[in-house]
Chain A
Amino acid sequence: MSEQAIVGTNAPRVDVRDKATGQAQYAADIQLPGMLYGKVVRCWEHAHARVKRLDLSAAAASPGVVRVIGPKDVTPKRYNSSVLDLMVSESMHDMLGDIDDQPIFTEHVKFQGDAICGIIARSEEAAERAAAKIVVEYEPLPVYLTAEASRAPGAVQFTPEKPGNLAFQLPEPMFPNHALGGGDVEGAMRDADIVVEDAFYVPKQKQCQMEPHAYVAKVDSGGRLTCWTSSQMPKLVQRKLAKLFDLPMNLVKIVPTVIGGGFGTRLGMISEPQACAMALAVPGHPVKLQTLREEDWVISPSRHPGKYWMKIGFKRDGTPVACDARFENYKGGYYLDASGTAFTAGAWLGGMYRFPTLRYRGESYFTNQGLTGAYRGYGNPQTNFVLEQLIDRGCAELGADPVEWRKKWHKGVGDDGWCPGVTYPSCALDQCLDRGAAAIGWTEKRRKYARQEGTIRRGVGVAVMNHTSGAMPMLLEHTACTVKLNEDATAEILFACSDMGQGSHTALKQIAAETLGFPFDHVQLSGGTSDVAGFDIGAHASRTIYVGGAAVKKACEEARRQLLERASLQLGVPADQLDIRDKRIFVKADPARGIEAEAITRAGVYHFVDPMTGEPGGVPGQIQGYVSFFAPHNSPPFGASFAEVEVDTETGEVRVIELVNAHDIGRAINPAAVEGQLEGGIQQGLGFVLSEEIDYDAKGRVQNNSFTDYKMFGPEDMPRITTILVEDADPIGPFGAKSVGESGLVSPVGAVANAIFHAIGIQFTEAPITPEKVLKGILEKGVRDYASIRGNR
């Protein structure tokens, strides 16, 4: 379909040979001379307490211990481990207020796992044994696990900045009446013929990236702090650490390590402040801080759980007239990105269907649950679970086909996307729906399963989604990129955005090679350390290819422009009549005429003046392309998922038989990598809707912080998967590409819930939909044929 030679191919991943042989170095694999080992002592007994007494002496005397540091030994400054504050404009920042509420070591424990003090020892084991000797006395405080509890009058205030423990609600100046949307929702709802409404609960899901967080930090003799971290956002972490420790940014160096999975958990910082505080206590010695799985579980932010109300009104002909929604999510003990999901859950809602009136209110309340923050999908699976089930309830009442209804009413080109005023430049959702429906056998199966008998019932369901490619215009979208041409006409690219394993660096290399007209293997792309790489906000919001790829493309275009200009002088042909392929520059109209790129790049670097004639040998100077790029748009991707399930009506067990994921991704730069994103997303989406949830006891202690107790879909649980890449080039994205990193997870959620509805005629308002809930629903409501529901009769 394309004229491109490299973009659109399954170019070999740049990082996988090292990963296949075990040579890839993750943070925990780093060994440095003189290395010491850190351990953060955490509060495991309480989720809410004050530290009455802290005695470090016995631990300090423990064998192998070098230093023990508590709250008084570190900066009293507070920080926010998330990074939203660095990504918003000053006026928006003012709306958020003071959101730096995390101390390095706390005297007010706000969640189980809060950091109390740190131990630096000669081995990890010695540090762990010393940790057991720390004496802490706590004064327990009331534990608030829900918004209802923490906003109750008289509740302990988490921070004076946020009265009522309301961490965030949509701010009035930007969102009148604290609501996103517009129009007379109540009036429109009164005029509706059919209204569907329910209160839902969405679960707290864990990213479960396979590499537990680990760090190395070191202060050198010049006072420079270096931190090896697998953060998704090295440049923002550099600024955060500089600010926290009062260092100029040139004295803080971030070395990004190979990332063992992110899914949002590495957005911003987790234990970098503690690792660096320890390094500052033992200058000259690197300190390695490795977290344990059970520790990683409680200290890294998870998906926002909470209550989600929604009400949708339709005219009898199916026209949607109003949507009213409210998402009340439970933060953990600290703010982090409380503004994020509370907003985006509504943004995805607003971006999906052409509701003439819409009111969405999003609120975040502090609780004593573990921290919540970024998780792949960022509010989208929550909205998908609620919105897509209510749409199907409406379709059942209306007697409408869920695919046809969606095709008629989803937003498309020219409509406002998730951000009002930013319209969709492309949308191939109809194609996704058509091709997905054909792949799963929609029409036939919908008819067949509408009337069934027996213990085992089948159903098929559909759900759609929209997402984003980068967070413009809400958040900063800035990427700097440098491409340097070596004397042998190979290219080296510096680009600070991390590859979390999704293959972004491979795809970016493809974009670069394609743009330059160089072979794939003659281009190198490196994330670089913070002191050499230019600015980049990091890998989040599915932005790396759409924004980063555009930056790489622009930088390469600049290098290419210089190359062609020099060739033009040599060939005596205007630059716009030249092209490059396989490092050979040629005249488009006369391809036999040309010059090797290497002749130009070599002459630029090894530049001499002929001693006999005084003539310069070509144009001097090494060619470099540089761009400081700000994304002009966010070209949202769309997707449709189709699920076929089997429900055992005697046990409530749900088996997903097939999952078709059809996604409008604009253009697949590396199709295998794109498929990998969508397939991996399915596994997490199925977990959200069917099996995954972090549980707390009444005291706020997590009950399932292990893979023994928290169950994800394994290889035998996964359904048959069909991935359909709908390639309809976006007019803005690089080579037409839109994002894919988060999308795959989202619509399987609604599709599975709707397939269950189709199979047994019951909807479930609490995720995950476990066999326990299904059986309860069946015993209370009885299995009923989908065909017997009002609108279908």
Chain B
Amino acid sequence: MKDRNITLHINGEAHSLTVTVNRTLLDVLRDELGMTETKYGCGTGECGACTVLVEGKAVNSCLTLAATMDGKRITTVAGLSDFGRLDHIQQAFVDEAAIQCGYCTPGMVMKTASLLAKNPDPSEAEIRHALEGNICRCTGYEKIVKAVKKAAQTMPGRAAAVEPCKEAVQ
């Protein structure tokens, strides 16, 4: 079968569509749904510009077949902001001057979201380890690391969520 009917739950909204089975999730989001906030940077899963959350986990949408995503919950960077109101991660990236050219930013923000969901109080080493797989060529990562720290500190409901981190990074 070269086409399949699927339903993607993207940023809380269901999209039913027919996709050719060899299309990546990235291309379906960008070309068929017009959701261009997720970027193509390398196509080989190295740069992380195409990072989205699938069922809460960060994945490279360039290495994901759309046809295998039927029924899945997908979050893109546009799903974090609410009619122009930035969420705490986006706001932290703005406040810490962690955005220059901005092309890596959607992926960086999604990677941060997945990190903080698992580890609400990461150490600097844990942040740096988590950000491997998201390439930035502008900032030297310095201000991005600061932004992730700030996002952790400003996470809504933080006091309740924080528990001692479980695994130390080597």
Contacts and interface: CB of A to CB of B under 8 A. Distances in A.
Question: Do A and B have CB atoms closer than 8 angstroms in the complex?
Answer: yes
Interface of A: 10, 12-13, 15-26, 28-29, 31, 123-124, 207-212, 258-263, 290, 292-293, 500-503, 672-673, 675-676, 679-684, 706-708, 712, 714-716, 718, 721
A707 B103 contact: no
B43 A293 contact: yes
Contact of B141 (A23, A259, A675, A715): A715
Given A22-B38, A29-B36, A718 B142 contact: yes
A12 B105 CA distance: 17
Contact of B100 (A25, A207, A680): A680
Given A683-B141, A716-B132, A22 B76 contact: yes
Contacts of A22: 36-38, 76-78, 105-106
Given A707-B135, A715-B127, 20 more contacts: A16-B94, A16-B102, A20-B81, A20-B99, A31-B34, A123-B31, A209-B103, A209-B137, A211-B41, A260-B101, A261-B101, A261-B138, A503-B100, A683-B140, A707-B44, A715-B144, A716-B132, A718-B140, A718-B141, A721-B142
A17 B92 CA distance: 11
Interface in B126-140: 127-129, 131-132, 135-140
B161 interface: no
Given A21-B78, A681-B140, A718-B140, A501 B102 contact: yes
B138 to A, nearest CB: 5
B149 to A, nearest CB: 13
B145 to A, nearest CB: 7
A211 B77 CA distance: 17
22 contacts: A10-B97, A13-B99, A19-B99, A20-B77, A20-B99, A21-B78, A22-B38, A210-B39, A210-B41, A260-B39, A261-B138, A263-B137, A501-B103, A501-B138, A672-B97, A675-B143, A676-B97, A676-B139, A683-B139, A708-B44, A718-B128, A718-B140
Contacts of B142: 675, 679, 718, 721
B109 interface: yes
Nearest to A261: B101
A212 B80 CA distance: 25
Contact of A20 (B90, B100, B125, B143): B90
B104 interface: yes
Contacts, number: 174
B13 interface: no
A706 to B, nearest CB: 6
Contact of A13 (B94, B128, B141, B144): B94
Contacts of B101: 209-211, 259-262, 500-501
A126 B162 CA distance: 50
A15 B99 CA distance: 9
Nearest to A685: B140
B46 interface: yes
Contacts of A502: 100, 138
B97 A673 contact: yes
B117 interface: no
Interface in B68-111: 76-78, 80-81, 84, 86, 90-91, 93-94, 97, 99-106, 109
Main secondary structure of the interface of B (DSSP, over half): loop
Which of B42, B43, B90, B128 gathers the greatest number of chain A CB atoms within 10 Å? Answer: B42
A721 B41 contact: no
Given A21-B78, A293-B41, A682 B129 contact: no
A29 B34 CA distance: 8
A688 B44 CA distance: 23
B81 A212 contact: no
A21 B101 CA distance: 13
Nearest to B105: A19
A21 B81 contact: yes
Nearest to A711: B46
B49 interface: yes
Contacts of A673: 97
Given A17-B86, A715-B141, A707 B100 contact: no
Contacts of A10: 97
Contacts of B59: none
Contacts of A293: 41-44, 47
Interface string B3-33: 0000000000000000000000000001100
A28 B30 CA distance: 10
Which of B78, B91, B136, B144 gathers the greatest number of chain A CB atoms within 10 Å? Answer: B136
Given A17-B86, A707-B46, A12 B94 contact: yes
Contacts of A12: 94
A302 to B, nearest CB: 14
A318 B79 CA distance: 63
A501 B141 contact: no
Contacts of B125: 716
Nearest to A26: B103
Which of B44, B106, B142 gathers the greatest number of chain A CB atoms within 10 Å? Answer: B142
Nearest to A708: B46
Contacts of A26: 39, 103
A754 B31 CA distance: 50
Nearest to A22: B37
A503 B137 CA distance: 15
A31 B35 CA distance: 11
A211 B135 CA distance: 11
A292 B80 CA distance: 28
Contacts of B31: 123-124
For the complex of A and B, 3 pairs with smallest distance between CB atoms: A22-B37, A501-B101, A19-B102
Contacts of A712: 135, 137
B51 to A, nearest CB: 12
